[in-house]
Amino acid sequence: MTSILSTADGLNAALGLIIITDLALLGAERQRLSIRLIANQGVLLGLVPVLAYNGTPDMYLIAVSAIFLIIKGVILPLLLRRTHRQLPSQQLPKPYLGYSACALLGIIGFALSLWIGGRLGIAANPLFSQVFPIGMATIFTGLLLIVSRKEVLSQLFGYLVLENGIFLLGAPMAEQESFWLELSILLDIMVAVFVMGIAIHHINRAFHSTYVDHIASLKD
């Protein structure tokens, strides 16, 4: 009984920290800080499947979660840092909506996710009702980062956060042994990071800027 309670408390703490990282990402003005927040979120996501498991998790789930944690919490942030170092030092433009407005919209999105979760009723898997608001809020955070940021690398951060939210919605299915689906999505994201890293390098070399506005304003 004590172990179940402690696991539930650990899951609630992880979900609470994930929503905090979402709001911090929306208000982050430096890309290095954003990369650290994405790394922290990746570590938390790696713990969620184990914490959400009803009972004692098997070794397969633990091993897959550990691999996921290493990739999302270590490897991807290192690739992002490497890409960031290769870009020229430049002052980031303010988001279209401003940092404070983005954070406020993030809070509104979280409140809306809680409201939608409450309207869904009782799900077949109770864990889904628990993670749904956080997952939807994380997806909304990713979308908001994509549409509000003016720099390509910052938009890539939003793409990764969006994938984190999708993964979080699928975490309760870990007990049904469908975790391979989330891993396949993760592999796609890894490829996307490699491709985007190369694309950002060539965009900067060709146009001497990675600002979206500068690229959009180019004429044939």
For the chain, the domains span: 2-216
pLDDT > 50? residue 30 = yes
pLDDT > 80? residue 38 = yes
Q: Which residue has the higher pLDDT, 154 or 3?
A: 154
End-to-end CA, the chain: 68
pLDDT > 80? residue 41 = yes
The two structure tokens encoding residue 209: 């800027």
Task: Give the range with max mean pLDDT: 22-31, 44-53, 192-201.
Answer: 22-31
Q: How many residues does the chain have?
A: 220
3-state secondary structure the chain: CHHHHHHHHHHHHHHHHHHHHHHHHHHCCCHHHHHHHHHHHHHHHHHHHHHHCCCCCCHHHHHHHHHHHHHHHHHHHHHHHHHHHHCCCCCCCCCCCCHHHHHHHHHHHHHHHHHHHHHCCCCCCHHHHHHHHHHHHHHHHHHHHHHHCCEHHHHHHHHHHHHHHHHHHHHHHHHHCCHHHHHHHHHHHHHHHHHHHHHHHHHHHHHCCCEHHHHHCCCC
Give the confidence band of 17 by pLDDT, cuts at 50, 70, 90: very high
96-112: per-residue pLDDT in tens? Answer: 777 788 889 889 989 99
The answer to whether residues 203 and 210 touch, using CB atoms and an 8 Å cutoff, is yes
Q: What is the CA radius of gyration of the chain?
A: 18
Mean pLDDT, the chain, whole residue set: 75
Give the confidence band of 4 by pLDDT, cuts at 50, 70, 90: very low
